[in-house]
Amino acid sequence: MKYSLVIPCYNKNGNLSILHNEIKKVMSSITDQNKYEIIYVNDGSISFMSINLKPHSLECGSNFRVLDPRKS
């Protein structure tokens, strides 16, 4: 089974790194690295959260996505 964590983000730039690190700790303790993904969804935020999350995307690879419905 693969887990997908979908996290809506609205102007939460300062908290995203903390949240991401905590999620990774929990998920790595309960499942294999390739059995989960973390999806951050820009929920109309005016802050540019993808800059804050870029280091995490490089670290997590395919287990990590940032979606911005406004740019689709």
Query: Using one digit for the tens of pLDDT, what is the confidence trace for 11-61?
Result: 766 778 888 889 888 888 887 777 888 888 887 777 655 556 666 555 666
Please state the domain count of the chain. Answer: 1
What is the total residue count of the chain? 72
Quote the domain boundaries for residue 59. 3-71
Strands 36-42 and 64-67: parallel
Q: How far apart are CA 51 and CA 17, in angstroms?
A: 11
> Would you state the structure tokens that stand for residue 45, as one six-digit string?
């935020």
pTM of the model: 0.72
Report H helices in the chain: 13-30, 49-60
Q: How far apart are CA 57 and CA 43, in angstroms?
A: 19
